[in-house]
């Protein structure tokens, strides 16, 4: 039985969350809290397995409550937000940085066409997060340090030249992307394309949150726009993001792959076709296997590939599947990835140091 603490100041929403969670035989709502102060006391008293956390509350908001809980009684936290305003969503991602594991939009009410799907998403996320016993965070690097030169990464092909970086992530991915992008210098010379699985409506706020910590221009991708060196392009909601010859982005309404749109698999397959050995691609923390087979395809075409290591992954599904398939040239912790990307972009075709 998974013990859940529901933290929510709205009585109507609180009852909705209790109803959804209690309907599953594997979940028991052991207590509720109306604000952050009550949440801290409830965590100490009831020792929940998972906490669903509202952000905007009186006395103490969800961000501060998350920080306090992670400092004193680390517990898996799922942010449940009712706002899609980019400015307010930034606060939600601050809570992710503080140690919360996942974020979801508030489930639709009973009778709404989306109720069943959003309720199921909440239940499945709570179940998955209950299995995360240790919450990990990574120190972000605001200043780019010289790449360490302690271990050889290997000999790259002399004829290849990195022209694009593609990254896929899901649960646990936002703080890792934060670490990667904040560690790249403003003169990074290669465009970066990212698919981050995320609840609908949060991607613009996510981009704004990342923009505060990176010197690279970062955008939600638009159909037909050209790829510029050092720019970061995030796949938008409900579109498959691809690249086409000539260095442009294509957004399509293609059907979901593995139930996902945008899909990492779709992006990686496109990158493999257009850029082949001139690409770098990686999979970060996330559930499922999206992108794993396509990462192997990229490696077979001569691209440099990487997967996040198990110890730093909140959920080891996507990178773990890639490693099982021998799809990853390198297995890296988040803090090592920026230096590796810089060295690959600058020195492809030579012995590359950087791990």
Q: At a CB cut-off of 8 Å and minimum separation 6, what does 208 contact? A: 86, 87, 89, 90
Exposure of 302 in the CB half-sphere (CA atoms within 13 A): 16
Q: Kindly report, residue by residue over 277-304, the tens digit of the pLDDT.
A: 999 999 999 989 999 999 999 999 999 9
Fold annotation for 152-353: Rossmann fold (3.40.50)
Q: How far apart are the first and last CA of the chain?
A: 42
Q: Would the CATH topology of 2-130 be identical to that of 152-353?
A: yes
CB of 4 closer than 8 Å to CB of 28 = yes
Residue ranges per structural domain of the chain: 2-130, 152-353
Q: For residue 342, what are the CA distances in angstroms to 146, 163, 183, 346, 352? A: 10, 12, 9, 6, 10
Q: What is the model's pTM?
A: 0.86
Instruction: Enumerate the active-site residues.
Output: 170, 197, 290
Q: For residue 253, what are the CA distances in angstroms to 166, 204, 218, 256, 289? A: 20, 19, 23, 9, 21
Query: How do the pLDDT tens digits run along the chain, 355 residues long?
Result: 999 999 999 999 999 999 999 999 999 999 999 999 999 999 999 999 999 999 999 999 999 999 999 999 999 999 998 877 777 788 899 999 899 999 999 999 999 999 999 999 999 999 999 988 655 444 443 333 333 333 344 444 444 689 999 999 999 999 999 999 999 999 999 999 999 999 888 999 999 999 999 999 999 999 999 999 999 999 999 999 999 999 999 999 999 998 999 999 999 999 999 999 999 999 999 989 999 999 999 999 999 999 999 999 988 999 999 999 999 999 999 999 999 999 999 874 444 443 4
Q: Kindly report, residue by residue over 11-24, the tens digit of the pLDDT.
A: 999 999 999 999 99
What gap in Å lies between CA 205 and CA 94, rounded to an integer? Answer: 11
- Least Cα distance to 283 among 237, 317, 255, 234 occurs for 317
What CATH number was assigned to the domain covering residues 2-130? 3.40.50.2300
């Amino acid at each position: 039985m998974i013990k859940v603490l529901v933290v929510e100041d709205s009585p109507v929403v609180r009852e909705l969350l209790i109803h959804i969670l209690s309907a599953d035989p594997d979940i028991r709502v052991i207590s509720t809290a109306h604000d952050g102060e009550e949440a801290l006391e409830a965590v100490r008293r009831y020792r929940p397995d998972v906490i669903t956390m509202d952000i905007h509350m009186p006395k103490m908001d969800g961000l501060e409550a998350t920080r306090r809980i992670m400092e004193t009684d680390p517990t898996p936290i799922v942010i449940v937000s009712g706002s899609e305003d980019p400015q307010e969503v930034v606060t939600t991602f601050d809570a992710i940085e503080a140690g919360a594991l996942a974020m979801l939009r508030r489930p639709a009410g009973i009778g709404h066409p989306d109720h069943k799907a959003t309720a199921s998403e909440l239940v499945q996320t709570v179940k998955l997060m209950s299995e995360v016993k240790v919450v990990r965070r990574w120190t972000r690097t605001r200043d780019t340090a010289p790449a360490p030169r302690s271990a050889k990464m290997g000999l790259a092909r002399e004829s290849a030249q990195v022209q694009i970086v593609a990254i896929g992530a899901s649960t646990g991915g936002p703080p890792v992307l934060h670490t990667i992008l904040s560690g790249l210098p403003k003169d990074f010379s290669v465009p970066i394309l990212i698919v981050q699985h995320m609840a609908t409506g949060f991607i613009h706020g996510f981009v704004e949150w990342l923009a505060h910590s990176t010197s690279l221009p970062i955008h939600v991708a638009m159909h037909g726009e050209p790829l510029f060196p050092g720019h970061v392009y995030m796949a938008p909601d409900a579109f498959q993001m691809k690249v086409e010859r000539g260095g442009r982005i294509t957004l399509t309404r293609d059907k979901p792959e593995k139930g996902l749109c945008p899909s990492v698999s779709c992006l990686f397959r496109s990158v493999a076709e257009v850029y082949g050995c001139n690409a770098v691609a990686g999979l970060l923390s996330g559930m499922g296997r999206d992108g794993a087979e396509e990462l192997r395809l990229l490696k077979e075409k001569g691209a440099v590939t990487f997967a996040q290591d198990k110890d730093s992954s909140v959920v080891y599904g996507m990178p773990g599947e890639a490693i099982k398939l021998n799809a990853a040239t390198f297995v890296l912790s988040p803090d090592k990835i920026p230096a590796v990307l810089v060295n690959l972009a600058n020195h492809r075709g030579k012995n590359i140091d950087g791990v």
